[in-house]
């Protein structure tokens, strides 16, 4: 169960983690993209943090929709519409709700991923954020089925996301800007998968505090 | 990082201010947005063209706002696609009732952001359609990538579809023309030096003193491969061979040529390249109908160039010759 | 040296070939000479304008050959004044019977070579006169130097005297107009990087990563001093202060502004500078009548810019607005 | 007495010396000018050498006039018209002559310098080629007056030219491109004075062989 205050905490913590990793994500993107992923994401989550004040006392759906719209209108590039769409789809699951239960969480995660796939037309194995998100989602779902708490489940999801990031090092990009590099993208980890991992890790860390 | 700027976070805003102050007779800025539109727009009953993308490609895209070319240009952060709300605002501002054509370069971010804007505009009752420019033959086909990128050939879409719109053609016709240009234009580029995004503060990649990067995009993203620097004749031949392999050109075909500088290469070198391009086309008996040489789709201060070849027919020739009056491209 | 060239000794020749091939509707080359003249010239009964200088300043000077600007442009070796025989040939080719005005930038070499050409032409019975452009306020007065240099302000002389000639004014009138522009235009520049003359193979000077050269000429010759790099606002203010100190400008005066890139600086930065220039002029209540931003008088791939301010009166305004149609400067 | 063949030798040797010093002169010019003096001079004297074949059997005046015209039409920059004018004025002194006597030499040297002054409007002490040429001329004239042979006289002139070059290091340029540097030109030797010294040295060396 995630309360509204916890949700707000999570979002604030994500903003802090993205800020700390601004240069790291940018450097990853410079190697196989155009070197702006950390800059864009930081701009977006900084704006989200500022916006959160205006929706503190709203429902979880509104908070997440605001997050989504802010990301869409500030991040730009590929990751803006993708993360934005993901948060928008997730927001719709908890429309009007003041708390998020475990079932919601699985549904939100699933809807978010479907949103990314709809918008970006990528699939697993193309060296994108999906390679962190999909394994994390599967792990989360299975752990909850097996009776894990939500905090434990996110820990496992985080581990799966990490492995997903590692896996992106071994494959060639066929979507996004890195795809232009052909085989030269092999050996580098995907910046978007990395930011997805960081986001999941922040959820896990916040839940485990 | 050595640049003539103030705050790296504020370059796009200050640049847009500088453009409006330099060319108030051509463009105005939409208050609160990174959008330039025609000073005297919107044009009632005319199809409007909106283009854009990340900043750092100046004079693209704001420099092509004006009679016979664009109606609006949306500027993202440097090398970052603009967001849907900005594009949406541009669409609303330029719509003269005859619909709006979005000219999108084929980058994942641009496509997604512009398409989201298109969805917003349609929901608002504005007739919107879009074309996706993908002229860069350096990129492999779409089984392995998101498809070819849009690079300097985009200028020809602005010029020719812009003329079609100015002549009063309807949205489906303007789109047909734009797609004809896209189907017939091929480009490829190379660079001698990287460039530095102001907010990043350091170059996107590094090149040795004797190395060049071949087939790179316009955002400082690495190209297809590196090699030792060669003569202008050899480099040009390499790029033209890739272009020839991808476009059906036979004797007596007529083409337009664009030798585009990436921002840091002097005109002298671009003209030397043009001299080589001309020879290669002449060898094949291909007729050069029009040549454009200069910095049109740049990557900040990157040294390098791209070649674009557009195969023409009578319809495209007439539109290419149509009057244009914009800050960066004028034709009497 | 990283350049897109073939043989360093042959850059001027290949460049001129490339220009003619790109713009055959505007210019042709005098067989055997490094001279470009109007494709449809000479114009009978019209005063002809000939300009030129070393190469490496492209689009100066060949890019300004065409209706409303130059009739002929003479290209020396890179950064080296052309020789008298070349200039003489240009004068002979463009003379339409109404005389020829030589536009000379104030460099010892240019002045001597062009004047020798003038002597040859006069001996040949051609009416020739000349003006010497000296807009660069970085240089001290002529007690200590050969006088101020001619730099980017030269573009205004080409544009305005060119219009005067095109309108049918006689040689003394065209010269009077050119001298009025010279009397009223002031410029100053700065650079972030040196440039490399192809035949020399290495940069003309060196600058540390945080250093800029202020007040330099357009041939890579060192400037007045070096300093740590500053913000665009500070650099612009420094240059404008020097210009203001040298030209009598008061509230409500009207000016034309040229923000000229030296070849390696992206338009983005030039527009940021323009934003600053505009503020400084506005603060003084000076009215900006026209602004030109771009690479017009370059120093190969040098990064940097110059600002030129031209004080206008009604006569100059009318001529500045006159139609021009050349490869590098068009006005509808 | 300088015969036509000796004159041809001198010119050929000058071309060789300028070629050898192409980079040196260019470097000197890069420091206080625009870095082309060696390139320009070499281009000019290479052309002169090629042209000499066509006038081998002509009089000294024609040979020198051809040299002058070739320099004027190939060197460019400031030094082209200056050296060109100097050779042109010197040529006029020996119009139609097959040999050059000592009196001619003094006259040629004087006329050459006057040509440079007429064309360039500089005077001694402005950090130009004149600072090598004028002392050399004075020394030549005095030595000949004192009974030196022409070879000895040129040796002394050469020494004076050298001192002149050294002197240019101590002064500020007020003519030519180096004048824009203001005081920053001090400490550097003038490229044109240096090429003038090299030319005089080559005359001296050729006469002394
Ligand atoms: N079609 C896609 N589907 C899913 N993720 C994508 C897609 N295209 C790109 N990405 C992700 O976006 C990341 C790049 O984001 P960013 O650098 O912000 O955008 P841009 O490439 O426009 O500069 C990539 O690392 C990748 O994970
Ligand atoms: N007015 C002048 N009178 C005499 N010599 C001059 C004058 N101006 C320049 N010079 C000489 O010319 C030399 C530079 O020649 P060069 O580099 O070939 O020409 P430029 O300065 O046009 O590039 C200077 O070193 C100086 O000796
Ligand atoms: Mg990126
Ligand atoms: Mg990007
Ligand atoms: Mg020179
Ligand atoms: Mg020089």
Fold of A2-207: 1.25.40
Same domain, C23 and C165: yes
Same domain, C281 and C291: yes
Please report the pLDDT score of residue C223 as a whole number: 80
Ligand 2 site residues (CB inside 6 A) read C 80-81, 108-109; D 29, 33-34, 36-37, 40, 77-79, 82, 116, 120-122, 128-130, 175-177, 190-193
pLDDT tier for residue B143 given thresholds of 50, 70 and 90: low
Chains B and C physically touch (3 or more Cβ atom pairs below 8 Å): yes
User: Does residue A145 have a pLDDT over 70?
Assistant: yes
Q: Indicate whether B108 belongs to any domain.
A: yes
Q: What are phi and psi of C24, to 5 degrees?
A: -65, -20
CA atoms of D30 and D181, how far apart (whole Å) = 12
Rounded to the nearest 10 degrees, what angle do helices B108-123 and B84-94 cross at? 50
Which residues of chain A from 126 to 165 reach within 8 Å of chain B, CB to CB?
Answer: none
Rounded (5°) CA angle C153-C157-C162: 150
Q: Indicate whether C260 belongs to any domain.
A: yes
Please report the pLDDT score of residue C305 as a whole number: 98
User: Does residue D94 have a pLDDT over 90?
Assistant: yes
Considering only the beta carbons, identify the residue of C304, C305, C330 that sits closest to B330. C330
Mean pLDDT, chain B, integer: 96
Same domain, C69 and C129: yes
Query: Which chain C residue lies closest to D79 (C-alpha atoms)?
Result: C109
Tell me the per-residue pLDDT of A164-188, one tens digit each, with 9 for 90 and over: 999 999 999 999 888 888 888 999 9
Across the range C244-252, mean pLDDT stands at: 96
The CATH number covering residue C64 comes to 3.40.50.10440
Which residues of chain C from 255 to 314 reach within 8 Å of chain B, CB to CB?
Answer: 257, 259, 263-275, 278, 288, 291-295, 298, 300-301, 303-305
- Choosing from C183, C204, C226, the residue where a domain stops is C183
Reference A87, options A103, A75, A101; nearest CA is A75
- Choosing from C140, C165, C183, the residue where a domain stops is C183
User: Does residue C146 have a pLDDT over 80?
Assistant: no
Same domain, C193 and C204: yes
Reference D195, options D124, D130, D138; nearest CA is D130
Active site residues of C: 57, 219
Distance of CA B46 from the midpoint of ligand 4 (Å): 32
Tell me the per-residue pLDDT of B74-101, one tens digit each, with 9 for 90 and over: 999 999 999 999 999 999 999 999 999 9
B107–A177 C-beta distance less than 8 A: yes
User: Does residue C10 have a pLDDT over 80?
Assistant: yes
| ipTM for the whole complex | 0.92
Across the range C169-187, mean pLDDT stands at: 98
Name the residue at shortest CA distance from atom 15 of ligand 2: D79
For chain D, give every domain's residue range.
2-207
CA atoms of A19 and A41, how far apart (whole Å) = 8
3-state secondary structure of C309: strand
Please report the pLDDT score of residue C120 as a whole number: 94
Where in chain B does DSSP place strands (E)? 27-29, 35-38, 48-55, 72-78, 100-105, 128-133, 185-191, 211-214, 225-228, 254-261, 287-294, 304-311, 324-325, 330-331
* Chain B interface with A: residues with Cβ < 8 Å: 54, 76-86, 107-109, 112-113, 116, 138-140, 143-146, 149, 197, 199-200, 204-205, 217, 219-225
Reference D77, options C16, C55, C224; nearest CA is C55
Residue bearing the bigger pLDDT, B206 or B155: B155
In angstroms, what CA-CA distances link A112 with A164, A192, C22? 17, 15, 53
Query: Which chain C residue lies closest to D76 (C-alpha atoms)?
Result: C83
Same domain, C278 and C169: no
Q: Is B61 a catalytic residue?
A: no
Q: Indicate whether C110 belongs to any domain.
A: yes
Please report the pLDDT score of residue A86 as a whole number: 97
- Choosing from B147, B162, B184, the residue where a domain stops is B184
Q: Indicate whether B150 belongs to any domain.
A: yes
Give the contacts of A72 (CB within 8 A, at least 6 positions apart). A80, A81, A84, A85, A88, B83, B84, B85, B116
Please report the pLDDT score of residue C91 as a whole number: 98
User: Does residue A163 have a pLDDT over 70?
Assistant: yes
In angstroms, what CA-CA distances link C316 with C65, C70, C173, C290, C313? 20, 17, 13, 12, 5
User: Does residue C141 have a pLDDT over 90?
Assistant: no
Peptide bond into B59 cis (omega under 30): yes
The CATH number covering residue B259 comes to 3.30.1180.20
Please report the pLDDT score of residue B220 as a whole number: 76
User: Does residue C2 have a pLDDT over 80?
Assistant: yes
Distance of CA B302 from the midpoint of ligand 5 (Å): 28
Burial A95-117 (b: 16+ CB within 10 A, else e): eeeeebeeebbbbbbbbbbebbb
User: Does residue B222 have a pLDDT over 80?
Assistant: no
Please report the pLDDT score of residue C332 as a whole number: 93
User: Does residue D148 have a pLDDT over 90?
Assistant: yes
Residue bearing the bigger pLDDT, A159 or D31: A159
Same domain, C221 and C300: yes
User: Does residue B141 have a pLDDT over 80?
Assistant: no
- Give the containing element (helix H, strand E) for C257: strand C254-261
Please report the pLDDT score of residue B142 as a whole number: 59
Q: Is B57 a catalytic residue?
A: yes
Same domain, C119 and C234: no
Chain A and chain B share a number of CB contacts under 8 A equal to 117
DSSP secondary structure code for residue D54 in this structure:
G
Reference A131, options A116, A141, A146, A145; nearest CA is A116
C268–B58 C-beta distance less than 8 A: yes
Output the furthest CA–CA distance in chain D (Å, rounded). Answer: 49
Give the contacts of C317 (CB within 8 A, at least 6 positions apart). C254, C289
Peptide bond into B316 cis (omega under 30): no
C140–D76 C-beta distance less than 8 A: no
Which segments of B63-149 does DSSP mark as H helices, in order? 84-94, 108-123
Please report the pLDDT score of residue C212 as a whole number: 96
Same domain, C65 and C193: no
Please report the pLDDT score of residue D1 as a whole number: 87
Cβ(D197)–Cβ(D161) below 8 Å: yes
Across the range B29-33, mean pLDDT stands at: 97
Same domain, C198 and C310: yes
Rounded (5°) CA angle C25-C31-C34: 85
Chains A and D physically touch (3 or more Cβ atom pairs below 8 Å): no
- Residues of D within 8 A of C77 (CB-CB) are 36, 39-40, 43, 76
Distance of CA A29 from the midpoint of ligand 1 (Å): 9
Query: What is the strand order of the sheet C35-38 is part of?
Result: C27-29, C35-38, C72-78, C48-55, C100-105, C128-133
Q: Indicate whether B5 belongs to any domain.
A: no
pLDDT cut 70: percent of chain C above it = 99
Across the range B203-224, mean pLDDT stands at: 87
Same domain, C143 and C237: no
Same domain, C15 and C147: yes
Pocket perturbation via mutation, ligand 1, pick of A180, A192, A197 by most ligand atoms within 8 A of CB: A192
Q: Indicate whether C255 belongs to any domain.
A: yes
DSSP secondary structure code for residue C294 in this structure:
E
Residue-range definition of the domain harbouring residue C306: 185-320
Q: How many domains does chain C have?
A: 2
User: Does residue C280 have a pLDDT over 80?
Assistant: yes
Same domain, B132 and B258: no
Tell me the per-residue pLDDT of A28-79, one tens digit each, with 9 for 90 and over: 998 998 888 999 999 999 999 999 999 999 999 999 999 999 999 999 999 9
User: Does residue D11 have a pLDDT over 80?
Assistant: yes
Q: Indicate whether C1 belongs to any domain.
A: no
Please report the pLDDT score of residue B99 as a whole number: 98
Q: Indicate whether C115 belongs to any domain.
A: yes
Query: What is the strand order of the sheet B185-191 is part of?
Result: B225-228, B211-214, B185-191, B304-311, B254-261, B287-294
pLDDT cut 90: percent of chain C above it = 91
Residue bearing the bigger pLDDT, D35 or B290: B290
Tell me the per-residue pLDDT of A97-140, one tens digit each, with 9 for 90 and over: 999 999 999 999 999 999 999 999 999 999 999 999 999 999 99
Cβ(B24)–Cβ(C250) below 8 Å: no
DSSP secondary structure code for residue C167 in this structure:
T
User: Does residue C143 have a pLDDT over 70?
Assistant: no
Cβ(B87)–Cβ(B50) below 8 Å: yes
CA atoms of A128 and A189, how far apart (whole Å) = 9
Q: What are phi and psi of A148, to 5 degrees?
A: -65, 155
Cβ(D199)–Cβ(D82) below 8 Å: no
């Amino acid at each position: 169960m995630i309360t509204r205050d916890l949700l707000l905490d999570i979002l604030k913590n994500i903003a802090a983690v993205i800020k700390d990793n601004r240069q790291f994500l940018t450097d990853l993107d410079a190697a196989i993209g155009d070197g702006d992923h950390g800059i864009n994401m930081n701009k977006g989550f900084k704006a989200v943090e500022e916006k959160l004040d205006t929706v503190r006392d709203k429902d979880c759906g509104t908070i997440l929709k605001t997050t989504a719209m802010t990301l869409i209108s500030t991040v730009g590039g590929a990751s803006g519409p993708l993360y934005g769409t993901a948060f928008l789809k997730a927001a719709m699951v908890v429309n009007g709700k003041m708390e998020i239960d475990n079932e919601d969480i699985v549904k939100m995660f699933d809807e978010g991923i479907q949103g990314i796939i709809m918008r970006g037309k990528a699939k697993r194995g193309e060296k994108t954020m999906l390679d962190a998100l999909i394994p994390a989602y599967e792990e989360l779902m299975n752990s909850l089925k097996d009776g894990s708490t939500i905090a434990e489940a996110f820990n496992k999801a985080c581990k799966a996301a990490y492995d997903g990031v590692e896996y992106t090092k071994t494959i060639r990009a066929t979507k996004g800007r890195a795809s232009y590099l052909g085989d030269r993208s092999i050996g580098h980890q995907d910046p978007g998968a990395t930011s997805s991992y960081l986001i999941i890790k922040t959820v896990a860390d916040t839940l485990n505090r | 990082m050595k640049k003539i700027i103030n705050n790296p976070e504020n370059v796009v805003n200050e640049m847009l201010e500088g453009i409006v102050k330099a060319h108030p007779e051509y463009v105005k800025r939409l208050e609160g947005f990174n959008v330039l539109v025609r000073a005297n727009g919107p044009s009632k009953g005319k199809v409007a063209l909106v283009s854009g993308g990340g900043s750092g490609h100046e004079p693209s895209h704001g420099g092509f706002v004006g009679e016979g070319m664009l109606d609006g240009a949306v500027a993202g952060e440097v090398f970052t696609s603009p967001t849907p709300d900005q594009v949406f605002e541009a669409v609303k501002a330029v719509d003269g009732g005859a619909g709006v054509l979005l000219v999108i370069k084929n980058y994942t971010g641009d496509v997604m952001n512009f398409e989201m804007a298109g969805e917003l505009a349609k929901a608002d009752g504005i007739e919107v359609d879009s074309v996706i420019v993908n002229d860069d033959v350096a990129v492999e086909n779409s089984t392995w990538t998101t498809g070819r990128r849009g690079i300097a050939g985009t200028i020809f879409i602005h010029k020719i579809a812009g003329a079609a719109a100015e002549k009063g053609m309807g949205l489906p016709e303007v789109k047909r023309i734009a797609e004809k240009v896209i189907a017939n234009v091929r480009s490829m580029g190379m660079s001698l030096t990287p460039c530095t995004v102001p907010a990043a503060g350091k170059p996107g990649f590094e090149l040795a003193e004797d190395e060049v990067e071949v087939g790179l995009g316009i955002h400082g993203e690495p190209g297809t491969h590196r090699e030792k620097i060669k003569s202008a004749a050899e480099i040009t031949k390499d790029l033209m061979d890739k272009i020839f392999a991808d476009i059906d050109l036979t004797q007596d075909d007529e083409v337009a040529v664009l030798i585009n500088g990436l921002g840091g290469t002097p005109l002298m070198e671009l003209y030397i390249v043009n001299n080589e391009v001309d020879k290669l086309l002449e060898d094949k008996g291909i007729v050069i109908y029009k040549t454009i040489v200069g910095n049109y789709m740049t990557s900040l201060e990157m040294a390098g160039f791209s070649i674009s070849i557009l195969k023409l027919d009578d319809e495209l020739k007439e539109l290419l010759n149509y009057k244009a009056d914009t800050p960066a491209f004028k034709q009497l």
